[in-house]
Structures are given as C-alpha cells and as structure tokens.
Amino acid sequence: MANLYLIDKPFADSALGLAREDPDAEVVLLQDGVYLSVEPLLAARKKVYAVERDVERRGLSSKIGNDVKLIDYHQLVDLLFANKVLNFA
Amino acid sequence: MANLYLIDKPFADSALGLAREDPDAEVVLLQDGVYLSVEPLLAARKKVYAVERDVERRGLSSKIGNDVKLIDYHQLVDLLFANKVLNFA
Amino acid sequence: MAQRRILFTINHAPFGSIHYTEGLRAVVGATSGIDEHEVDVLYLGDGVYFALRGVDRSDTLKYIDTLAQAGRKLKVERESLQERGIAHQDLAPDVEVIPRSAVRDLIAQADFTAGF
Amino acid sequence: MAQRRILFTINHAPFGSIHYTEGLRAVVGATSGIDEHEVDVLYLGDGVYFALRGVDRSDTLKYIDTLAQAGRKLKVERESLQERGIAHQDLAPDVEVIPRSAVRDLIAQADFTAGF
Amino acid sequence: MAKLGILLTAGPFQFENWETAVNIADAALDKGHEVEMFFYLDGIYNPNRHQTFPDLPTLPKDRFAKLVERGAKPIACGVCVRARGQKGEDYIDGVPVGGLPDFAQILSDVDQLVTL
Amino acid sequence: MAKLGILLTAGPFQFENWETAVNIADAALDKGHEVEMFFYLDGIYNPNRHQTFPDLPTLPKDRFAKLVERGAKPIACGVCVRARGQKGEDYIDGVPVGGLPDFAQILSDVDQLVTL
C-alpha cells in the first residue's frame, strides 16, 4: 500500500516536497496539477499518474512524458481504494 | 501618475515580474499579497504599499519592513483615483 | 459617459477555474454597451496555458470568434511562455505572442484593466 | 462503523480564504460523532502562516480551545516554516513544530486525510 | 465492494472540483462501490435545482441528481447552507441538509476519503 | 468627486475579496465619491438577504445593504444568477439583476475600475 498523493496546483509546493521525500509515495496529478513539473518526482523514482481527461482538455497530451501514466476515473478509483490517500486537491 | 499594481498572492509571479520592470510601477499588496517578499521590488526602487488591516490580522506588523508603507482604505482610495490601476487581485 | 479602452488580463489557467471562459465573456460583454468600448485580451502567468494548440475551446469558441471578427487577437506574454517552457510550435495559430515591452504599451493605452 | 484517525492538513493561509477557520470547524466536527474519531491538525505550506504569534484568532479561538481541552495541539511543519523564513520566536506559544519525518509518522498513523 | 467518502468544499461552475468529484463518484458507482458525499462551505451551492444555463446541456444539478439516482448519498452542511442564505427546499431530491455530525458519520462509514 | 467601479467575482465567506470590496467601497463613499458595483460569477451570491450565521454579528448582506443605503449602486449578472439557481427576489433591496451591458455601462460611467 502506497501513500497516494492527490495533487492540484495550489498546494503543489508542500505536497511535492512531502511526496519526494516519502519512500512510500505515489502521485496523482489532477485538475491544474497536470501543469506541474514532475522531473523531481521522477528523479526520486516516484510513480506518477495524471488524470487523462485533465491532461487532454488542457492540450497537454503530447507534452506530458511517457513516464507519467495517464489514468481514467475507473483506474483512479482502484488506486484510491488500494492505497492511503493524501489529499492535496 | 503611476501604474498602481494591486497584487494578491495567486497572481504574484507575473504581476511582480511586470511591476519590477515597469519604470512607472508602484505596488499595493493586499489580502494574501501581504505575505509576498518585496525585496526585488525595493531593490528596483519601487514604492510598495500594503493594506494595514490585511497586515495586522495576519500578525505581520512587526515583520513587515519600514520601507513598506502601511495604508488604510481611505489612502487606498486616494491612490486608486490618482493612478492607473493594474488589477492583480 | 465615454468610450474606454480596457485591458483584460487572464491570469487563471484553464480549466481549474472558470475564469478562462467567463473572462472572455466579460470581454465581449464590455463591447456590448452603447459606448462600444475598445478591448485588449492579454494572457499572463499561468493564463498563457490557454494559448496551447490542443486546448479544448468548446466553451470559449464563440467569444474568440466574436473578438476575431472585431479584429481583436488574443495576446500572450512571451516571458510567461518562456518561464513555462512553452515553445512557439506548441501554440495555437491564432494567438499573438508579445514581449513584456509591448505589454507595457498595452497598459499605457488602457484606461482600465480587469483581471481574470 | 469504526473510530478513525484523521489527519487534517491546512494548506491555505489566513485570511485569503475561509479554510483556515472552517477547516478547524470540520476538525472539531469530526470528533462530534458517535465514534469520537481521533484527529490531528497539521499546517503545511502557506498554511503555516496561521502559526504566527500575532494572527487574529477571533474566528478560530473556540475551535482551538476545544482541541486543546482534548489534548490536541496544532502541529506545524518545520520545513514549511523554514522555507518562509519564519523563526521560532515568531510563533504562537501553543503550536508544536514538527520535522517532516514526524509528518510521515502522522501520515502512517492516519486512516484518512482531509485537506483544507 | 467498498465505500468512498467525498468532501466537496467548492461550488459549481467557479472551480473544476465539482466535476472531479462527480467523475470520481460516477466511476466508483460503475464499479459497484457505494458513495457518500458531504457538501461543505461553497460546496453546498452544488445541488441547487433551479440552475439554468442555456449553453450547457448538462448542469451540475443534473449530474448530482444522476448520482443520487444511482444510489450515492449526499448530505449538506446546514450551517453553511444557512450562512449562504440557501434553502434545502431548493435542492434536488435526495440531498438532505444536515451537519458536521453527519460528516463524522461518513468518516465512520467509508473505506476511503477524498477531499476536493 | 469621482466614480469608482468594482467588479466582484468571488462569493461571500469563502474568500476575502468581498470584504476588501466593501471596505474600499465604504472608504470611497466616506470621501464623497460614487460607487458602482458589478457582481459577476460567484460574486452574485453576496447580496442574499437570507444569510444567517449566529457567530457573526455582521454578515456580508448587512455590509452590502449598508453600502446601498449610502448610495452605492450594485447590479448582478443575470446569466450568473440563473446558472447558480439564485433568484433576484432573494436579494437585499437595491440590487437589481442585469447583464453584461450593465457592466459595459459601468465602464462608461466610472473614473477607475477595481476587480476583485
């Protein structure tokens, strides 16, 4: 069971800081959170997901890296129940 | 007549960037804008005001520098009519 | 009673808040009065994400069309794009990139500004 | 039906939004049910500005008193304070500064988190 | 099967949170889970039955009504409702006005909590 | 003496903007200026006459009512009102429901514009 950080942009600084140093962290970017730079997370070998709808409507599909896994809401629900949710949205 | 930037925190990055390079800029910090670091503005010799009520209720009165002028709403209204208002609140 | 020139700045990114589209509705609305105000639309800060080529415009298209017909382009600050690593080829073809010095000209020309 | 431990994080600064006080009302509310949940209150990011000594507490005092009577301290992340240049002498006497490693312990102990 | 709790503190239209909340709730129901929602702060504006907007084929109230139809159990914070001058009779069917003890009960009932 | 225009896009309680708007408007009236306000987006929630909150001696509606008494001229965006399921009859006296052409007229009338 991971610590699943749900991250939107307004609280990104503290949420990303926590997640980066948390050995059990996985991150879900949602809403404006999909604009965030995830290099530090990936460098720290964290698994990063992004909500596909939020990426697509913002025109970011071609800009987001292959190392970020796009998920739909059904996959998100599975992640929510399989992990401990850290709410930063 | 100055360009009077009314700045709250959410849009501070672009507003402060604009103001710093604007030779006619003066800045009013209001609401959560009073948390902003004003060193770059002061270094660029910009006049900086902060709304006194917003500073006081946040417990920042002793932390805010003497080079920031605290103003009440009557003074703010005078500033609004005496300048061109740039809305970033 | 007078015609004014209003600079609308859009600072909110799509789609976290509705300002990306309601700001444009207000722009069009400002031109709807008896004085037919002049308007400029400028994307700054995170607002510039609206200029990306693939952004869903279904809620904004009618306002953009109205503005385009009046000869008004959506302007985007170059420095805000650069800070976010957005390149020219990432942008929609109908936006106009302007440097900060031109932003200062827009400010100089404006009677009022409105921030969204 | 079970007693839970909930970690409430407060990320919004006072007073730009009402989350600084309504978050605490929700904390107290969470303890008001039949299961008497355990709660922790943690200030993170800009939320830590609430810990400043001179902050106006007129809207939050009753919630803070209720929590204090239940032996619950307001916890503030040290790293968030440091990033904002807030020193120990700037803080209200009733807040408890904890390092990020202790934040991880709070997370480990929590069944749920709620963000304000 | 499991139970999902959603705490929604943002209103309709202005921010994207209500859409995310509904999309997550819908997906949870698709998978056979149960959903309990608490409308808090501006969140209490969401289930207003009088919403009308010609341009939008589906309004927030329609999506929340569909969730109720599918078995989701929402409840609104009464203090928030009254502070904002709203009335329970203006809500879509199936959204009672309660209080924070109901939020405490949701914390007892659910297996996971999302706050938006 | 001059005229101040205020565009308010945030609702009561949730954000500080309504208080800033009222404080600025009050100060302008103190100085003999005129004030015109446009409630846009969530701003339209502000003048609801049914607001009640036991802990607050002065509610948003009371402060806006006082502004009206003192001669301020507010008007609300009708599209926003109807989208949010609100009704003009729930407003305090002196707040008509209009539209963006009224905002355009405010832009014609005033000497300065503040958006909050």
Is this complex scored with an ipTM above 0.85?
yes
Instruction: Region of C36 please: left (phi>0), alpha (psi -120 to 50) or beta.
Output: left
How many Cα neighbours within 13 Å face the side chain of E113? 27
Whether residue C1 has pLDDT greater than 70: no
> Which of chain D's residues have a Cβ under 8 Å away from the Cβ of A17?
79, 100
* pLDDT digits 0-9 by tens, E96-115: 999 999 999 999 999 999 99
With an 8 Å CB cutoff and a minimum of 3 pairs, decide whether chains B and F touch: yes
Determine the residue among B6, B49, B80, B87 to mutate to test chain F binding: the one whose Cβ has the most chain F Cβ atoms within 10 Å. Answer: B80
Give the residue numbers spanning the domain of D61: 5-115
Q: How many helices (H) and strands (E) does chain F have?
A: 4, 5
> Which of chain F's residues have a Cβ under 8 Å away from the Cβ of C1?
108-109
Tell me the two tokens of residue E108: 């007892």
* pLDDT digits 0-9 by tens, F72-85: 999 999 999 999 99
Interacting residues of C58 by C-beta distance below 8 A, sequence separation 6+ = none
Helix, strand, coil in percent for chain A, rounding step 5: 45, 30, 30
Q: Rounded to whole angstroms, how far apart are CA atoms D94 and D91?
A: 8
Q: CB-CB: which of A32, A76, A87 is closest to E24?
A: A76
Question: What is the reported pTM?
Answer: 0.98
CATH number, domain of D75, equals: 3.40.1260.10
Question: Which string of DSSP letters, residue by residue, matches D13-43?
Answer: PTTTBTHHHHHHHHHHHHTSSTT--EEEEEE
Query: How deeply is F93 buried, as exposed, middle or buried, from its count of CB atoms within 10 A (0-12, 13-18, 19+)?
Result: exposed
- Between these two residues, E54 and B39, which has the higher pLDDT value? B39
Whether residue C34 has pLDDT greater than 90: no
Q: Rounded to whole angstroms, how far apart are CA atoms D25 and D15?
A: 15
Q: Which residues in chain F (32-91) have CB-CB distances under 8 A to chain B?
A: 33
Tell me the two tokens of residue C42: 């400028």
> Which of chain F's residues have a Cβ under 8 Å away from the Cβ of E13?
41-42, 83-84
In our burial notation (b when 16+ CB lie closer than 10 A, e otherwise), range B24-44 reads: ebbbbbbbbbbbbebeebeee
Size of interface D-E (CB pairs under 8 A): 62
Give the residue numbers spanning the domain of E18: 3-115
Tell me the two tokens of residue F8: 């308010």
Nearest-CA distance from D31 to chain E in Å?
7
Number of domain units in chain F: 1
Which domains are present in chain A? 3-88 (3.40.1260.10)
Which residue of chain A has the CA closest to C56? A57
Return the pLDDT at D33: 82
* pLDDT digits 0-9 by tens, D31-74: 998 889 999 999 999 999 999 999 999 999 999 999 999 999 99
Q: CB-CB: which of D45, D77, D110 is closest to A11?
A: D45
Q: Is C71 on the interface with A (CB under 8 A)?
A: no
Whether residue B50 has pLDDT greater than 90: yes
* pLDDT digits 0-9 by tens, D84-105: 999 999 999 999 999 999 999 9
Q: Rounded to whole angstroms, how far apart are CA atoms C43 and C97?
A: 10
Return the pLDDT at B26: 98
Q: Rounded to whole angstroms, how far apart are CA atoms B14 and D103?
A: 32
Q: Rounded to whole angstroms, how far apart are CA atoms F75 and F98?
A: 6
**If you average pLDDT over every residue of chain E, what do you get?**
97
> Which of chain C's residues have a Cβ under 8 Å away from the Cβ of A65?
none
Per-residue pLDDT 10s for chain F (116 aa) are 999 999 999 999 999 999 999 999 999 999 999 999 999 999 999 999 999 998 788 999 999 999 999 999 999 999 999 999 999 999 999 999 999 999 999 999 999 999 99
**If you average pLDDT over every residue of chain C, what do you get?**
97
Determine the residue among D3, D6, D22 to mutate to test chain E binding: the one whose Cβ has the most chain E Cβ atoms within 10 Å. Answer: D22
* pLDDT digits 0-9 by tens, C59-93: 999 999 999 999 999 999 999 999 999 999 999 99
Which residue of chain B has the CA closest to C105? B22
Number of domain units in chain C: 1
CATH number, domain of E30, equals: 3.40.1260.10
Q: Rounded to whole angstroms, how far apart are CA atoms B1 and A3?
A: 54
- The percent of residues above 90 in pLDDT, for chain A, comes to 99
> Which of chain B's residues have a Cβ under 8 Å away from the Cβ of F24?
73, 76-77, 80
Q: Rounded to whole angstroms, how far apart are CA atoms C36 and D88?
A: 57
Interacting residues of F75 by C-beta distance below 8 A, sequence separation 6+ = F36, F37, F38, F39, F95, F96, F97, F98, F102, F106
Mean pLDDT, residues A31-59: 97
